[in-house]
Structure 1
């Protein structure tokens, strides 16, 4: 049909629906223009042109919001509902393309050119048709939800165009895909497009089937483990060993509530899974429980929000200590440099002076000036490397080192940490604690401090370390290289 012979029909836009010729569909209509168009078509016993919107969210679509190709349909029944909407039953008749849109007072009318099917006969069309029947039959066998009566209807239809439209109308496809099939006037092209879609759907069904089988197998293993775990728990209750169940539930809540790094969380959950399966009274249970308690009691991300204020720091140092002009200047210079960098990368302060000059109290003042928590660890008499690094869990009575133990007490990852009497450490057959202390104080290493008990990397890079000593002779040279020495002399000659 040419433009000159195109006829005029009332227009009704559709949301998310593509109507095909031969398809009967119920529609609930609420827009005033659409209701008027339906009533006009019903009144004149005429056809109505149904075309899909490109965007279903548009309430009052203009021509640019509509596809060009739609379906001429007959209005079979209208039923007005109590809420003012209309339920219409329509039947698709023929394909059509909009030639011209005419805007009326109540609704749009359009001049429509009817589209005739091409390539409906010949060997190629018959070959395509046979392949479509075979593929669709395979699809229906896989998709159990597909109505089986459709297969009977498909078998009874000989017209290729009607067959493609029937299959398409019953498949759950995207609006864009259905519109593409509606626009194709060549039947062989239409069958080719539909075959691609059906083959894709078959592949997706097979993939879903495999995934479902894997999930089912995994679920079977999970349920078996759960059943066995519950059985063990009941047996323990009967034997009077199940009192710790509530404790384990509380521990599990604590683990989930704690903000842990991913690797640490994986390690803790693995240990907790082992703990669940252990008898409450066994020695190994206590070891694993203590290990988990240690990890969740450590600060991993919590920090004190602070900012170094040099004027406040100077005021605090003057309030707490009389004199000490040069040491104070050196400390303030050091703090001024640290305030300009995000990470503590410079040397560690080492306050050196005779006993009683106020080295430890100066450390406390620095912490107060920075607004950070203060912790102190005395290294006097430490001669075992394990006191710094901790003991491996294979040993009976193993526990974390003094550094990790102090961080537990600090409860934040950025305290001011005073290592007192660093010159009083000694060496014996159990190792050199000063070598372990190198990893603690070296900014290039302490972001991944490895305590033997934890067997995990712990970040000490946010800690503000300060060391004290009575003299430099007892401090190994590698440690001195990482320190900024500040001498504190006595108040009397």
Structure 2
């Protein structure tokens, strides 16, 4: 809803733990805190718009204004499911970046005064080059991450807007909360793409090292299993040979006893 200052809006705030919602991102959220549930009800009673902003510390159960990052995302409620008991499940779509100018209300839930964050105009040649390189890096990342469907690469290749490209990719990359918040707070699509590529390269290097370690451990385990099998096989052979030697010894002793006794030719 519009406030008295035509530059901004007033929106109910939904504080988020351990997740950053970007524009163009559709995500399910489970909401259980009373203050947050009331904010959802306020949004549902209006135009279904609300502000999605992350907490600085996820463990804070009852955040105040200082606990919320100043840049969030205007979200639209697509679907809300109420259960007889327990949390509410809400499906939201990120629409646009927003800057919190102040808190108009704290209780019984947050209402924030917000401004839209406009993207900066970047050099088009630079943007095109960054888009291509970021798409290539994302392709390398997907090859090392089986959780991302290959079809996502096709979808990403069709995106022509630099801002939308970075926001779409970051939604599928495992990054620290502070790094995602940094990308959310960056109004320049070119700088976002450049930073996102750097972060993905770092994740790729980590995953490559992890893959090498897994391969090394697997080979070592296979070697140990092979050695164990060969050792068991050798022990079985030795036991079999030992049993035969014992039988030969017993047979030899019996023959000696027979020879030592005076027996008829027929008995011998």
Q: What is the TM-score of this pair, normalised by structure 2?
A: 0.84
2:151 aligned to which of 128, 139, 149:
149
Q: Alignment RMSD, CA only? A: 1.7
Q: Which residue of 2 aligns with 1:68?
A: 70
**How many angstroms does 1:120 deviate by?**
4.7
**How many angstroms does 1:211 deviate by?**
1.9
1:193 aligned to which of 186, 192, 195:
195
Write out per-residue CA displacement over residues 315-360 of structure 1, whole angstroms, 9 at most, x where no aligned residue: xxxxxxxxxxxxxxxxxxxxxxxxxxxxxxxxxxxxxxxxxxxxxx
Q: Does 1:125 align with 2:127?
A: yes
Based on CA coordinates, which of the two structures has the bigger radius of gyration? 1
Mapped to 1, the partners of 2:34 and 2:15 lie a distance apart of 12
The number of residues matched between the two structures is: 239
Q: Which residue of 1 aligns with 2:82?
A: 80
**How many angstroms does 1:234 deviate by?**
2.4
**How many angstroms does 1:114 deviate by?**
0.8
Write out per-residue CA displacement over residues 130-159 of structure 1, whole angstroms, 9 at most, x where no aligned residue: 111122122222333321121121012111
Mapped to 1, the partners of 2:196 and 2:61 lie a distance apart of 31
Q: Which residue of 2 aligns with 1:30?
A: 32
**Does the 8 A contact of 1:119 with 1:125 survive in 2?**
no
1:45 aligned to which of 44, 47, 62:
47
Q: Which residue of 2 aligns with 1:177?
A: 179
SS of residue in 2 equivalent to 1:170:
coil
Write out per-residue CA displacement over residues 365-400 of structure 1, whole angstroms, 9 at most, x where no aligned residue: xxxxxxxxxxxxxxxxxxxxxxxxxxxxxxxxxxxx
**Does the 8 A contact of 1:21 with 1:92 survive in 2?**
yes
Q: 1:166 to 1:220 in 2, by over 3 A?
A: same
Higher relative contact order (CA 8 A, sep 6+): 2
**Does the 8 A contact of 2:14 with 2:52 survive in 1?**
yes
Q: 1:189 to 1:196 in 2, by over 3 A?
A: same
Q: Which residue of 2 aligns with 1:235?
A: 237
**How many angstroms does 1:203 deviate by?**
1.4
Q: Which residue of 1 aligns with 2:163?
A: 161
Mapped to 1, the partners of 2:219 and 2:63 lie a distance apart of 51
Write out per-residue CA displacement over residues 234-256 of structure 1, whole angstroms, 9 at most, x where no aligned residue: 23444567xxxxxxxxxxxxxxx
**How many angstroms does 1:9 deviate by?**
0.5
Write out per-residue CA displacement over residues 300-326 of structure 1, whole angstroms, 9 at most, x where no aligned residue: xxxxxxxxxxxxxxxxxxxxxxxxxxx
Q: 1:77 to 1:120 in 2, by over 3 A?
A: farther
**Does the 8 A contact of 1:120 with 1:160 survive in 2?**
no
**Does the 8 A contact of 1:120 with 1:161 survive in 2?**
no
Mapped to 1, the partners of 2:239 and 2:70 lie a distance apart of 74
User: Matches of residues 73-472 of structure 1 in structure 2 within 5 Å?
Assistant: 73-120=75-122, 122-239=124-241
**Does the 8 A contact of 2:52 with 2:72 survive in 1?**
yes
**Does the 8 A contact of 1:77 with 1:88 survive in 2?**
yes
Mapped to 2, the partners of 1:8 and 1:180 lie a distance apart of 24
Mapped to 2, the partners of 1:69 and 1:44 lie a distance apart of 23
Mapped to 2, the partners of 1:228 and 1:140 lie a distance apart of 40
**Does the 8 A contact of 2:70 with 2:99 survive in 1?**
yes
**Does the 8 A contact of 2:97 with 2:184 survive in 1?**
yes
**How many angstroms does 1:110 deviate by?**
0.4
Q: What is the TM-score of this pair, normalised by structure 1?
A: 0.47
